[in-house]
Every structure is written in structure tokens, then in C-alpha cells.
Copies of this chain bind each other. A is one copy, B any other.
Amino acid sequence: MARSETRAERVYANLRGDILTGRLLPGQRLPFADLGARYSTSVGVLREALSRLVEQGLVLSEPQLGFRVTPVSEEDLRDLTSTRIDIETLCLRHAIAHGDLAWESRLVAAYHTLDRTPELASTQPPTVNEDWASAHAAFHAAVLEGCPSRRLRDIAASLRDASEIYRRWSRHLGSEDTRDIAGEHQALRDAVLARDVEKAEAALTQHISYTTQALLLSAPDNLMTAHDAEPAGTSPA
């Protein structure tokens, strides 16, 4: 029709987006009937999309029982955080060592966009601003893009996606107030531009750690609560 993007790709992208932005909650079951109605497609393409997400670790498959969004847990969050620190700082070292001027420029641009985008939308109650979320993702992606290894970049990106679930799923924390997120980003940018590996690593490590610590402090108990949420119908948009 419009173009040659297969339906499977679109459904995959939609599903992925709905999981990453928290429209589908961790632990939630994903029956084919509901999903078929939600994305108006058949079982075959759903299985295909879900299989891909399983491989990414975003969805869990239990044979003969169906699929569900991967549940969150404190243990997984800790593992994910420490792995992200390992991989992202590794990527960062390579980026600082090998990144060229074009990379620096894209980084500066991404930082500027992020800096000028308000973090919270002016709704009642205040919610995460979608623009800020994507600017934030773009900034961190820009940092890591200086790394010459495609595989390493891909790994870092997938870990970052995984932790996006945690961020979104516990969006209304409040403890964010005590943090100077903008300052953290600026420190990271400056250290990178100065090609100061030590400082950059420290800044990135802190940035990642802080987010996890805030999550663990403010929501330690409901980390296991979302396992039996309502099925994925057409409504929750």
C-alpha cells in the first residue's frame, strides 16, 4: 500500500514502544486475542514480533502458556545497573579515544536539545515529558556513538533500553527533586569534550547509579507487584 514496510515490522515496533514507555506493564500477560485486537493483526505476525522481543529480553515466553512482559525485580535492576556501568564506561573510553569532531558536534547538539527541553510536562499531575525522554535517550546515544565498535554500541543501546522499562515503570517517584540531573549531564558532556577519561567515567557511573538508587529507595516494595496486571486490551491508551 503506502510502502513496503511489512506489517510484522510495524507490530514489532509498536509492541516494543508500548513496553518501553510503560503502556504495557512489566509482568503483564499478553494473550493473542487482546493483542490481535489492539494492533489489528493476526496471530502469525504477533508471534513473530513477540519472538523478537523475547530474544531481546523484553518479553518472556512460557511454552503453551503464552507471552508476558518481562517482570521487574530488584535483583535484575542491580544486575542491569552494574552491567550498564561496565559496558557504558567501556564504550565511553573507546569513544573518547576514537571519537572525531563530527561526533563532538553531534554530542554538543544533543546536549543542547536536552538542556532546553523541560523534563516534566505541564499537566496535572506532572508527567514525564515525552520530548524530554527522547532527548535524554538521544543524548546518551550520542555519547556512546563515538565508540567505533558497532557491536559494543548495540550492546550498550540494548542495555539502555532494558533500563528504560524501570525508569518508566516507576515514573512518579518524587525523589528526583534532590538530584541535579541537568548538572550531571553537563558534567558528562564537559568531561567528554575535555577528553578526560577519568572524570567522564566517574560522571557516567554516578549518573547511572543515582537513578537506580533513587528507584531502590523510593520503590523497594512494589518491585514485585505488577505481575498480575490486567491483560493487554485495546483501552489503556
Complex formed: what's the CA distance from A56 to B54 in Å?
Answer: 11
Q: Is the CB of A86 within 8 A of B90?
A: yes
State which residues 62-115 of A face B: CB under 8 Å. 63-64, 79-80, 82-83, 86-87, 90
Interface residues in A, total, Cβ within 8 A: 29
A44 to chain B, nearest CB (A): 5
**Which one of B4, B5, B52 lies within 8 Å of A55 (CB-CB)?**
B52
**Chain B binder among A18-26, A150-158, A180-188:** A150-158
Q: Is the CB of A9 within 8 A of B63?
A: yes
Determine which residue in A56, A64, A80, A155 has the highest number of CB atoms from chain B within 10 A of its CB, and name it.
A155
Q: Which residues of B contact A79 (CB under 8 A)?
A: 149-151
Interface of A is mostly: helix
- Judge if A159 is at the interface, Cβ distance under 8 Å: yes
- Judge if A6 is at the interface, Cβ distance under 8 Å: yes
State which residues 32-63 of A face B: CB under 8 Å. 44, 47-49, 51-52, 54-56, 63
**Which one of B63, B82, B149 lies within 8 Å of A83 (CB-CB)?**
B149
Which residue of chain B has the shortest Cβ distance to A78 in the bound complex?
Answer: B149
Complex formed: what's the CA distance from A48 to B90 in Å?
Answer: 34
Q: Which residues of B contact A47 (CB under 8 A)?
A: 8, 44, 48
Q: Which residues of B contact A55 (CB under 8 A)?
A: 51-52, 55-56
Complex formed: what's the CA distance from A9 to B51 in Å?
Answer: 11
Which residue of chain B has the shortest Cβ distance to A65 in the bound complex?
Answer: B4
**Which one of B9, B90, B149, B151 lies within 8 Å of A90 (CB-CB)?**
B90
State which residues 185-230 of A face B: CB under 8 Å. none
A213 to chain B, nearest CB (A): 18
Q: Interface on A for B, CB 8 Å cutoff?
A: 4-6, 8-9, 44, 47-49, 51-52, 54-56, 63-64, 79-80, 82-83, 86-87, 90, 149-152, 155, 159
A-B contact pairs, 7 of them (CB 8 A): A4-B63, A8-B47, A48-B48, A51-B55, A52-B52, A79-B150, A83-B149
